[in-house]
Amino acid sequence: MPPSAEAFEAERSHLVAVAYRMLGSVAEAQDVVQEAWLRYMRAADGEIRDVRAWLTTVTGRLCLDVLKSARVSRESYTGQWLPDYFVDPDVGPAGQAEQRDQVGLALLVVLERLSPEQRVALVLHDAFAVPYGEVAEVLGTTEATARQHASRGRRAAAEGSVRHNADLAEQRRVLAAFIEAVNSGDMQALAAVLAPDVVSISDGGGFTSTALRPIIGADKVSRFFVGIAHGSRMAGAVLEPALINGTAGILVRGQSVSGALAITVADGRITGLFQQLNPNKLLVSDLL
């Protein structure tokens, strides 16, 4: 079939979702999809039999190129790198607003540890059910090698993942207990709500001072957040409940939106805290 704007627009949200899962950046994902559009419109009549499959393959190849170049730029990034946050209002269990399909932050963080080939193979096959033959075409390799990339990526993701098995109601409860303990400076209460091996990762992007390396362990994480809560930077700040990529979190407002915190929870305790302080990575809903 000949290329058409209508056919492409029907696939745009799917392509952005594919690219965001691979790249963790909405701006980069949109750039990739725009380039896919240009290539689509240049395609010869009769070249494309399945529009979605063709566009997904092109998007995957473009993401692979971006990931290879991104390794250099992210190595020079100031501090820790976290993905873009989708921040929506948390209206609570009653009348819960329908949330868009989101990929969890914990998964996006661990995907950063994979090689570009592993990440592309894993996302395409496991998240979007792209057959290994097509994944191999994206990677420019054999089907057996594509399977190997996905398998290694899956294993690395499992080994490096932060435990997270709580439903949204439990996430809210644990987050509320954490905020209360931090505000009161109650170290004993914090010890009860944080997993012993809890990890805290902060992304300041050079815009604000924060921890440049992950903080690991309940005692160190407790002292870090109590210090923030009682420091001058939080004076006058308002904490608003929010859903961040579909999980419980808080939006911090000073004179403007100044940050967001997302958590992972397992067995009633916080296992991960992901603090986004880079304003360029906060995509806040108009409803907030």
Over residues 16-31, the mean pLDDT reads 95
Per DSSP, the three-state class of 57 is: helix
Weakest-pLDDT range from 31-45, 115-129, 217-231, 250-264: 250-264
User: pLDDT (tens digit, 9 = 90+) per residue, 164-199?
Assistant: 889 999 999 999 999 999 999 999 999 999 999 999
53 versus 206: the higher-pLDDT residue is: 53
| Confidence band of 274 (pLDDT split at 50, 70, 90) | very high
Distance, C-alpha 62 to centroid of its chain = 19
Which residue from 28, 102, 109 is spatially nearest to 69, judged by alpha carbons? 28
* Res 52: pLDDT: 95
What is the tens place of the pLDDT at every residue in 141-172?
Answer: 999 999 999 999 999 998 888 888 899 999 99
Side-chain-facing half-sphere of 224: CA atoms under 13 Å: 21
C-beta of residue 246 within 8 angstroms of C-beta of residue 99: yes
Measured CA to CA, the distance from residue 169 to residue 184 in angstroms comes to 23
pLDDT band, very low/low/confident/very high, at 101 (cuts 50, 70, 90): very low
- Mean pLDDT computed over 239-258: 86
Question: What is the rounded CA–CA span in Å between residue 54 and residue 41?
Answer: 12
Q: Would you state the structure tokens that stand for residue 60, as one six-digit string?
A: 């995957």
Torsion of Cα atoms, 66 then 67 then 68 then 71, to 10°: 120
Please say whether the dihedral angle defined by the alpha carbons of residues 86, 92, 95 and 101, taken in this order, is positive or negative. positive
DSSP string, 225-237: HHHHHTSGGGTT-
CA 147 to chain centroid: 24
What is the chain's mean pLDDT, rounded? 89
pLDDT of residue 96: 47
- For range 230-245, the mean pLDDT: 82
Instruction: State if pTM tops 0.75.
Output: yes
Please name the residue ranges forming H helices in the chain. Answer: 5-23, 26-42, 51-75, 105-111, 116-122, 128, 132-139, 143-160, 168-184, 187-193, 218-229
Of 22, 86, 100, 9, nearest to 59 by C-alpha is 22
Task: Quote the CA–CA distance of 60 and 23 in Å, as a whole number.
Answer: 10
